[in-house]
Chains A and B, each alone.
Chain A
Amino acid sequence: MDPDPNKPEELPSNSANNSHGSTHPPSPFPDEVIEKVLSYINSHKDRSSFSLVRKDWYNAERWSRSRLFIGNCYSVTPEIVARRFPRIKSVTLKGKPRFSDFNMLDWGANVHSWLVMFAKVYPFLEELRLKRMTVSDESLELLAKSFPSFKALSLSSCDGFSDSGLKAVASHCRNLTELDIQDSISEDISGTWLSSFPENFATLEVLNFASLNSEISFDALERLVSRCKSLRVLKVNESITLDQLQRLLVLAPQLVELGTGSFLQELTPRQYEDIESAFSNCTSLRVLSGLWEATSLYLPLLYGACFGLTFLNLSDVALQSGEFAKLPVHCPNLRRLWVIDTVEDKGLEAIGSSCPLLEELRVFPANPYELDPRLGVTERGFLAVSQGCRKLRYVLYFCRRMTNAAVITIVQNCPNFTHFRLCIMNPHQPDHLTNEPMDEAFGAVVKTCHKLQRLSVSGLLTDLTFEYIGKYAKNLETLSVAFAGSSDWGMQCVLDGSPKLRKLEIRDCPFGNTALLFGHGKYEMMRSLWMSACNVTIKGCTILAKEMPRLNVEVIKDEDSDDNQADKVYVYRTVAGPRQDAPPFVLTL
């Protein structure tokens, strides 16, 4: 069992007495030894296991834990956390369920009540990392003013904040080393926050504002970069031009990670040379992203910096296959590559030929709503990469056609997949050569890839796929399913097998109450279950909620669905009870 680290577990000691009671055997180790051992244990899962052994170990662990990880902000309350862990310096909090990301629910996961508690009990907080949470300006202002030692703020796929919140952070966090905003969903942030860093502020090491769409003062940025000698990560937004970028690179040749701004600008030969040499001087550069609107005319500017690159993120620039195909040969050390499917199979073949060390490939669709199978990439490109890149272990592949045979070959070439996320974009799409379901493809994946932790399935799939998954995917932790399966049996196979399953997200599948209720014992061992557009009803959910008081069962109904239909169901384990901040469209059963 993988216990939630924040659950106040039933303590194994057989007495509620103090730890020196006569029925409680003395600790085999003195406290100093326990503390020393604990100082080497950093994973929260390991610390959790440690804390379950004995009451005094539980206490030693809770006093020495400094990093907090909460995978579901509703699984526990700030009060419970504060009571158990008195000395936290770093917090990671995740909020909304992933499938809600694709449909913009205004659902909750507001960080404010957490910050209020942290301000009270963790005045020495240094780091806050949030994912899929709502963060208001008020919250950022509270953060900025409450933690004098605050160092690192990371907001990934968060929303709710604007310029004034960021201004507060910039102005008041005197020791800030990291401001990392990824995939922000904020619409209209003006750019004045960047100018709010004090003139003598120089501690920044990480600055990422690539996803904030606003003009910032280049002047302020330039001064900031020149002051911050330890800057190693700089990701600017599209408003920064090429020649501005050149000036920044001259000031910060020590950069390890760079996100460029717009890569389209008419350049004089002199400017071109200057930029080329600026890139060549960045000898520590390992990660490159941005490159908005880059074309084959400007990509060669990068060549001087490509040799050492380990991660190239081209998901912001739709390169055509011809333009892109010349690039991989300059990047022999690439481990991770993200591209848009405009590079087509030909581009992927170039990767297969030139990047033998590649471990991760993500191919995003340029136009996700276009169903024409001639667009984008196919099984050919995936095959080509698998042939040349035998170390591949992470793939996210959006395509419009695939075959069982290709996938079988791919996993034979690359048996070390830990993350296999295949998205055949047309729902229910069969093998395009044989017209059969894609069951054998995913069967091969789970049979061959013993280390598989994360799997997303797609295409026409019957219950057989899920039989395979339940039977073979022994290390699977996250499973995403859409438009698949034939009956409840499919979901039951997964719930019955897959002992390490933590997150299950399902949409548009013919799974109903029988399957939902079959897993009732399992859900407490998991972080969460998401089911939308399936055959689950409110009655079924109510039964589940009644039987399992330590699960929250939340239902969101669509506007025009019939009364008993549970259109979106989110089930998660919690020690916090039903949440108090659910918006009116969320029914907590």
Chain B
Amino acid sequence: MNCRSEVLEVTVESRQVEEAMLGLLHTILMHRSTGKFHYKKEGTYSIGTVGTLDFDCDFIDFTFVRVSSEELDRVIRKAVSEFKDALSNSGSDGMGQISLEFYQKKKSRWPFSDECIPWEVWSIKVNVVNLANEQERQICREKVGEKLGEKVINVVEVINRHEYLPKMPTQSEVDNVFDTSLKDVQPYLYKITFQITDTLGTSVSTTMRRLIKDTLAL
């Protein structure tokens, strides 16, 4: 099975990085989250309810929908915040990429550790620009809002191709497919990583891997 890979590219001002990333990551995660599974006898399960809420961006003319889960929002914000800090520390006009990878765990026999097999990777390439005056910033607000809208349409288009999704697991296997640590929603197992390219582009000045969600912390 090949991993599906999608790349989205955005150009934003530095203060818009956080909201742009939150918008796209939350949009993807909303589609890749279900309600909590409750397993019953006879191999059946019921699924909880996922609520949604609208979020208005402050620096972009854009509103996105995310899952109503403060826990999930905290995790995503933390990852995006680290990415944003890394981008700003790399100097002005930085470029970077944040990746959201959905994976399945495959149990291996001792002494081998479990394998993480990605089945879908979303890479968001970010190009940060600096703007000279308020008028340009105002135009940028609107343009970035439109661009993000187009990206949401792209995301929806990919997801609605209904390509490979992991099979619904039995109770014993659920942690190999879903992240069951949250109390209100259940996204597929995912991890967020990022890397920064400096403006020279000649070398990757800092490559930082942050495994925000790695349940294999053995």
Q: Are A and B part of the same complex?
A: no
- List residues of A whose CB falls within 8 A of some B CB: none
